[in-house]
Structure 1
Amino acid sequence: MNSTLIKKTFFIILLTSYYTTISAQSQHVLWYKQPADFFEESLVLGNGKMGATVFGGANSDKIYLNDITLWSGEPVNANMNPEAYKNIPAIREALKNENYKLAEELNKKVQGKNSESYAPLGTLEINNSDKGKAVNYHRELDISNAISKVSYEIAGIKYTREYFVSAPDQIMVIKLKADYKGALNFDINLKSLLKSNAEVRNNILIMTGSAPIHENPGYAVLPKYLDVKERGTRFTTLVQIKKTDGKITSSRESLSLKDATEAIIYVSVATSFNGFDKNPATEGLDDITLALQNMSKAFAKPFDKLKESHIADYQKFFNRVNLDLGKTTAPDLPTDERLLRYSEGKEDKNLEILYFNYGRYLLISSSRTLGVPANLQGIWNPYLNPPWSSNYTMNINLEENYWLAENTNLSEMHLPLLSFIKNLSVTGKITAKSFYGVNEGWASAHNSDIWAMTNPVGQFGKEDPSWACWPLSGAWLSTHIWEHYIFTQDKNYLKTEGYPIMKGASQFFLGWLVTDKNGNLITSPSTSPENKYITPDGFIGATMYGGTADLAMIRECFDKTIKASKILNIDANFRIKLETALAKLHPYQIGKKGNLQEWYFDWEDEEPKHRHQSQLFGLFPGDQITPLKTPDLAEASKKTLEIKGDETTGWSKGWRINLWARLWDGNRAYKMFRELLRYVDPDGKKTEKPRRGGGTYPNLFDAHPPFQIDGNFGGAAAVAEMLVQSDENEIRLLPALPDAWSEGSVSGICARGGFEIEMNWNNKKPERVIVSSKNGGKTTLIFGNKRQEIVLKKGEKLEVTF
């Protein structure tokens, strides 16, 4: 062989090796060489109602089961503190006299009960009779088809398992297989942390039980609630085995399969929850019948049919968006090792894509039940007493869960939140009157739960106003209604559902605002979520008037309600009221440090690097502050972020990445995005040098810590925000593209106005852009200083080159 041929052959081998590495470095598969020992290593599946957390153990597999509708409690008594509003004039008077200490104490009188708690349904265990040492172990979750797999060998026999949770069939399916005849021998049992009973009837393992009826905290007093009849949400779990060979046997509480080669386990769950305003015990759904119906329908179908319809249903959402960030030289590693390597500062563009794709996967898997949005943990909660009750925290967390819904083409997944806001507007009418003395519109506060609780929390005066007393979530939530409309152009939704809710939120704030000494409109009392000020005389408190965050959210709420009324051509007189009030709102203030003030006065923060940055709401998710339209306020926002610093975690870091993206600083946004993906050890893992703090767990769950899903959603949303930004009139391409992503392509990203973008870029410049319109319309496409106006008909596409 001559030297030229040798060189060519060597080059081809090198090239093949290089591209094999690239293709093997997955954008859609999480995989591991060992089973999960901890929740933060497990792989999660869900159909938007049922959640499954799979550990994948070889000799013994454990699967946590959840149902998004299983919560403690029952319909809320919104009128729980009917005379709370009578304290408002005294609080306002104290604030007018600058007596902040008195205002703080009085504000505690405007509190109600705490939220209810999201409950764990149970644990399914599959125990192998023939135990042994597993070798060649592999565990994965493929988020391109929402299927998890486990494979391993024991004593020369290969075992495989395949798991998915189907939305079309409302069932969990587990297929077990051995490559040696009769080698499958296992038993199955169910247990729950809740009051429950498990038994086998007709070869079906049945677990029934009920959730407690009281709020969290307080599980220490659980026993006194257990015997309360006709109270609380019931649940049913059914497990059935379909075999190809072997023999099914059972004991009183477990199912067994002996001498089989292949088997399919079906898991069906249901609860009696029947809506936020229905008693789940006396007016609830028949959970046993529901679970049985879903089981019998699914059991009659072949495995391949169930799998096929599951994949088709899932992929119609997941496949809408495709992201590529150019060449990668990262090696093919298990996901936990990959994350560790990335944490050391190494390049792994496909891990960044995987994280983005995983955010979309989690939303599809946890948000498909009307009236019941994804909670603080999506739908995956193993704890009787979950962190922060795994509730709906509405001063950022619930909203951040949905930042990626519209722009990453998952509009349908937004509907559980939008329908939940409608429920809040019902209980919120009573809250507006009884807690705040406002007779028009609706109000909601800091926390909520499945029962659409809207009152300020705090256990009737026991807790800190800094987080307990905040009536502004209705303003923030109402902007999600506008977002859904402006992305989808669904005028019918805006008219019949959305606008009346937006109007109700605006009506409340018209009644809540008061005039300050300068003739401007402000809120009183006010707090800035979870932060505290220091007055010049040294008092540290939360209760004040005219907080920047309040006014930013009201500004956004009024602005979007005005726009909606113009589009629908209704409520002209009400619109004038809003326009008048909008013009009189106390304006943004820039403090002595060049920052955007959080407080009415230029006070110091008790904690300058505080995790919340609510005063920057107008920059993101709002659109009042931009580098072009309001350069002074944008610069003050930047200064605020610099003072706060980058060292924050979870949802807070997710928010800051989006804020830097809106300031068009792609490299700063990317720096923090990388920090969000810092490897963190599972909470319970004991190692010599544990990696703790904020970042990402081995299963890519967000480590706040503990796990909170909003960091995943905020981080994924930020990727889209770095690539495309839009408002009602323009679409800005690559506004915050970091140097690290100098080449790439994306398709399926949505823009306001009902547009969809497909583009590829090189040297940080778009080369080919295709814009399509869902309903027809016009917009201005912008890249740098280049602008191009486009007008499209419904369904029309246009290719643009820059």
Structure 2
Amino acid sequence: MNSTFKNTFLILLFTSYAINISAQSKNVLWYDKPAEFFEESLVLGNGKMGATVFGGVDSDKIYLNDATLWSGEPVYPLMNRDAYKNLPAIREALIKGDYKLAEELNKKIQGKNSESYAPLGTLEIKNHNKGKVTNYRRELDLSTAISKVSYEIDGVQFTREYFVSAPDKIMIIKLKSSQKGALNFDVQYSSLLESSSEAKKNSLSLNGRAPIHENPGYFMYSETYLSPLYPTEAQKAEMEKEALKRKNKIRGTRFTSLLKIKNTDGTIVNTDKTLGLRNATEATIYVSVATSFAGFDKSPSIDGVAEPLAKNDLKKAFSKSYDKLKTAHIADYQKFFNRVTLDLGKTTAPDLPTDERLLRYADGKEDKNLEILYFNFGRYLLISSSRTLGVPANLQGIWNPHLNPPWSSNYTMNINLEENYWLAENTNLSEMHLPLLSFIKNLSVTGKVTAESFYGVNEGWAAAHNSDIWAMSNPVGQFGKEEPMWACWPMAEAWLSTHIWEHYIFTEDREYLKNEGYPLMKGAAQFCRGWLVTDRNGNLITGPSTSPENQYKLADGFVGATMYGGTADLAMIRECFDKTIKASKVLNIDAEFRAELEADLAKLHPYQIGKKGNLQEWYFDWEDNDPKHRHQSHLFGLFPGNHITPLKTPDLAEASRKTLEIKGDETTGWSKGWRINLWARLWDGNRAYKMYRELLRYVDPDGKKTETPRRGGGTYPNLFDAHPPFQIDGNFGGAAAVAEMLVQSDENEIRLLPALPDAWEEGAVKGICARGGFEIEMNWSNKTIQKLIISSKKGGKTNLIYGDIQREVELKKGEKRTIQLWIKEKK
């Protein structure tokens, strides 16, 4: 073997080995067969357009979604304008201990249910090549946000490459064959929604609309549905004109998807419903989507357009080459994804398809790089689903195949929407937080009316359990038809307001806090102040109150949810008041209001430790109807809040630990994600890691029939979180927890490796963010930090804590410094 040939051979061998290691280790999901079920598919997105790729051979099915395609139109917040008048009777029943009556009366403080996130359509590529398929591979590379399919038929290799570009607002599908003229396919559209498809020359279109109401059980409104909150006479006259315009107009959000083929050879053909290519070698399919959504308070049937937007995006993209589009896509995506890298040390896991990896891992085998892959996948999903202002990632991100999706694929604000964004700041994706923050601003508009009409509070804004793209803020329940345990909960504004402070304290963006954030935080705090009442001990409590989706059981056997002084309510109000006070101090404004908040904060009913040593969820030490319930809202102060800590409040931290022990580890996927974060905040790395492994437990696709099905909370073959069914919040919560195990922080300190498990005795991380505008890079071995680099975005001071070592550090804007923590400074 001559030296040139030998070197070439070694390079090729090394490259092949490196590709396999990369694919197996951190960034590539891959499979040796097409997806049969949604939970096996691979998803792509640019933060607005979503694509679900099955990678079939004879037929390649791709579900299309748009983040702005929902049923309904702008909400009418005054739907139950006298609901607040029922509050005195509810409070009287609670004071008398008549909880059954309070439960029934609480139903009177309900409104409509949310609208639903809708599926746009299905794009199907029907291939004409028949024969035995060999060497099939389907993959998603998280480092480039590109999916690929390759296989051979009778010695001819066929490949497809897919990506959804944010800069060019387009989906691209590149098809190639290794033999000239072997590419033959037809493309067609279909949709579960009312729609029509048409092919003309080299263009295929799908046009349709979402229903004005998706769920037949939801309450239907008349023309007042779109009316202003408090119309003047002039506005009423204008409304009548608009009503005449709408009289003969089909209502609902319109959508359009357009497709064109760019070929290098072969012949483009079409029928009235299909577009195809014959005898080609290489081709690129361009797909655009758009909707007529024009804003949460605008009519999509009057104020918005879909088809012109889709045409414009397609025209601009079609003028660019595949290589130019791909280069722009990768550069745009990697500026976010590449900010963070994670290594957890050596692994001996074999090279297996991702679904087989999960099965092996579920049997207790080591696979550190699967753990990294899951973390990276969470960041990938947030970049791919959360880049549209005012439209945050929903229960399924942006990937929904169902006409009637689970829980309407809406914004569930008693945990799930917030959990979606736990990783935004600490995993260096602050820009992906903006869709939620701008959505909160929308909520404050409808929420002002909700505060007044449902809760009798004339200052601030309120929001409840569910919402949708129309920023619906009212309590749900179909006007008294649903159970208070989930329908009657007015604390979303308190929880959401803490996200505003998180964005500020991670970015140190004072202008955002001043102009956008603080007014929203203040409005949430104002509502909470107005909602509080005084108990018999002179303490401030909420009433009526519920603890999200959980129930108590009384000695007489009564099971209910309505009570007063719920621990979860007060924990969220504590955080809301504390962060609003801090924001006021940062901006040096509202001293009088700040003093009022400080006084109320001191008067809140204190935490109680129950007879089992647990943190009480209820005002009294009642039994839980379900002691292992998936919600742990009363632990909010431990995480995502930070006023319960092992150091500052050891008794409450220990009670929180006991609560988690009672609840156990078996729960739904998203709840596992939450519990990992809670264990991390208790600085119990091994228990957090145990639950992380529980979260990555393999779960069969929902529709798969097997003799011994694997069900429960965990992870589907495509790494989607299994509630079950699929909910994306577990992916986000799990990824956030990895960062939480490595770095924890508050406004004054950064704690390094606070919950490092024994299994991660060596590793490295780069790009994790800490509060105060800092960024951390470190590596460790034998669970001991070997190197630490800290940088500052805006300049500032913090206290670094590592074990029993503390060191104060002050950095200038943009400064990066290597810190030797173990060398104590001379006095």
1:541 CA displacement: 0.4
Matches within 5 A, 1:88-167: 88-167=87-166
Contact kept, 8 Å, 2:23 with 2:30, in 1: the verdict is: no
Deviation, structure 1 residue 228: 7.5
Task: Give yes or no for contact 2:112–2:219 (8 Å, CA) kept in 1.
Answer: no
User: Which residue, 244, 254, 268 being the options, matches 2:274?
Assistant: 254
Distance 1:53 1:217 in 2: 27
- Per-residue CA deviations over 1:80-125 (Å, capped at 9, x if unaligned) read 0011010011111111111111100000000000000000000000
Match in the other structure for 1:279: 299
AA partner of residue 595 (structure 1): N
| Residue in 2 that maps onto 1:8 | none
Residue identity in the other structure for 1:204: S
Q: 1:772 aligns with which of 782, 791, 801?
A: 791
Task: Output the CA distance in 2 between the equivalents of 1:620 and 1:202.
Answer: 57
In 2, the alpha carbon distance for the partners of 1:434 and 1:218 equals: 23
Which residue in the other structure is 2:445 paired with?
A: 426
Match of 2:58 in 1: 59
* Runs of 4+ off more than 4 Å: 15-24, 217-221
Per-residue CA distance 1:574-608 (angstroms, 9 max, x = gap)? 11110110000000000011000000000000000
Which of 619, 639, 649 is residue 620 of structure 1 equivalent to? 639
Matches within 5 A, 1:71-470: 71-218=70-217, 229-284=249-304, 286-470=305-489
Quote the offset at 1:694 in angstroms. Answer: 1.4
- C-alpha distance in 2, partners of 1:392/1:676? 22
Q: Distance in 2 between matches of 1:251 and 1:578?
A: 68
- After TM superposition, list the pairs within 5 Å mapping 1:524-563 onto structure 2: 524-563=543-582
Q: Is the 8 A contact 1:406 1:483 kept in 2?
A: yes
8 Å contact kept, 1:59–1:132: no
Among residues 603, 607, 612, which one is paired with 2:626 in the alignment?
607
Q: Contact 2:426/2:770 (CA < 8 Å) preserved in 1?
A: yes
Q: Which amino acid aligns with 1:433?
A: E
Output the amino acid matched with 2:259: V
In 2: Cα distance, 1:227 partner to 1:242 partner: 42
What is the CA–CA distance in structure 1 between the aligned matches of 2:219 and 2:503, rounded to whole Å?
A: 42
| Cα separation, 2, equivalents of 1:219 and 1:753 | 45
Distance 2:298 2:789 in 1: 48
Given that 2:149 and 2:160 are in contact with CA atoms closer than 8 Å, whether structure 1 keeps it comes out as yes
Separation of aligned partners in 2, 1:229 and 1:626: 57
Q: What is the alpha-carbon distance in structure 1 between the residues aligned to residue 679 and residue 512 of structure 2?
A: 32
Aligned counterpart, 1:518: 537
For residues 228 and 435 of structure 1, the distance between their equivalents in structure 2, rounded to whole angstroms, comes to 34
Call closer, same or farther: CA 1:268–1:340 in 2, change over 3 Å.
same
Deviation at 1:132, TM superposition (A): 2.4
**Structure 2 CA distance for aligned equivalents of residues 80 and 227 of structure 1:** 22
Aligned residues of 2:667 and 2:712 also touching (Cα < 8 A): no
Deviations 1:476-511 (A, max 9, x none): 000000000000000000000000000000000111
**SS at 1:135 equivalent:** strand
Partner in structure 1 of residue 714 of structure 2: 695
The runs of 5 or more residues in structure 2 that have no matched partner are 1-13, 221-245, 823-827
Query: Shift in Å at residue 156 of structure 1?
Result: 1.3
Aligned AA (1:281): S
Structure 1 CA distance, aligned partners of 2:746 and 2:19? 41
Shift of 1:227: 11
Amino acid at match of 1:312: A
2:365 match: secondary structure: coil
Aligned residues: 786
Q: Do the aligned partners of 2:86 and 2:105 also contact (CA within 8 Å) in 1? A: yes
Q: Which amino acid aligns with 2:341?
A: N
SS in 2 for 1:80: helix
What amino acid is aligned across from residue 735 of structure 1 in structure 2? P
Letter in 1 for 2:190: K
Q: Which of 742, 750, 755 in structure 1 is aligned with 2:774?
A: 755
* Mapping of residues 781-792 of structure 1, within 5 Å: 781-792=800-811
Q: 2:598 aligned to 579, 590, 597, which one?
A: 579
Distance, in Å, in 1 between the alignment partners of 2:372 and 2:422 is 17
| 1:513-571 per-position Cα deviation (integer Å, ceiling 9, x unaligned) | 00000000000000000000012322110000000000000000000000000000011
Gaps of 5+ in 1: 1-14
Give the Cα separation in 2 of the matches to 1:405 and 1:349: 23
Q: Structure 1's 16 and 271: CA in aligned 2 closer, same or farther, altered over 3 A?
A: closer
Q: Which residue of 2 aligns with 1:4?
A: none
Instruction: Measure the CA separation in 2 of the matches of 1:772 and 1:206.
Output: 50
Looking at structure 2, the residues matched to 512 and 493 of structure 1 have their Cα atoms a distance apart, in angstroms, of: 28
Retained in 2: the 8 A contact 1:36–1:42? yes
Asked if the contact 1:21/1:330 (under 8 Å) is kept, the reply is no
Report the equivalent of 2:813: 794
Q: What is the Cα deviation at residue 130 of structure 1?
A: 2.5
Asked if the contact 2:459–2:530 (Cα under 8 Å) also holds between the matched residues in 1, the reply is yes
Q: Distance in 2 between matches of 1:94 and 1:559?
A: 32
Give, in angstroms, the shift of residue 765 of structure 1.
Answer: 1.2
Q: Which moved more, 1:661-670 or 1:683-692?
A: 683-692
Distance (Å, rounded) in 1 between the aligned partners of 2:63 and 2:176:
22
Aligned match of 1:44: 43
Deviation at 1:359, TM superposition (A): 0.2
Distance (Å, rounded) in 2 between the aligned partners of 1:491 and 1:704: 38
2:698–2:715 CA contact under 8 A, matched in 1: yes
Aligned partner of 2:723 in structure 1 is: 704
* CA displacement, residues 440-491 of structure 1 (integer Å, 9 cap, x when unaligned): 0000000000000000000000000000000001000000000000000000
Query: How high is the TM-score relative to the length of structure 2?
Result: 0.93
Contact 1:55 1:63 in 2 (8 A): yes
- CA shift, 1:230, in A, is 3.6
Secondary structure at the counterpart of residue 576 of structure 1? helix
8 Å CA contact 1:22, 1:327 repeated in 2: no
SS at match of 2:78: coil
**Cα pair 1:466 1:528 within 8 Å, conserved:** yes
AA aligned opposite 1:512: W
**Following TM superposition, by how much is the alpha carbon of 1:18 offset from its aligned partner in structure 2, in angstroms?**
10
- Given residue 317 of structure 1, which amino acid in structure 2 is its aligned partner? F
Match of residue 673 from structure 1: 692
- Whole-angstrom distance in 2 between the partners of 1:87 and 1:376: 32
Q: Normalization by structure 1: what TM-score? A: 0.96
- Secondary structure of the residue aligned to 1:25 is helix
Cα contact 1:114–1:216 (8 A) shared by 2 = no
Contact 2:113 / 2:219 at 8 angstroms: preserved in 1? no
State the distance in 2 between where 1:219 and 1:86 align: 24
Aligned equivalents of 2:218, 2:531: Cα separation in 1:
37
The separation in 2 between residues aligned to 1:516 and 1:23, in whole angstroms, is: 60
Deviations 1:657-677, CA, capped at 9 Å, x for gaps? 000000000000000100110
Deviations 1:181-215 (A, max 9, x none): 11011000000000000001242101100000114
Q: Distance in 2 between matches of 1:549 and 1:465?
A: 15
Partner of 1:30: 29
Preserved contact between residue 733 and residue 781 of structure 1 (Cα < 8 Å): yes
Residue pair 2:37, 2:703 contacting (<8 A) in 1 also: yes
For residues 57 and 716 of structure 1, what CA distance do their matches in structure 2 show?
30
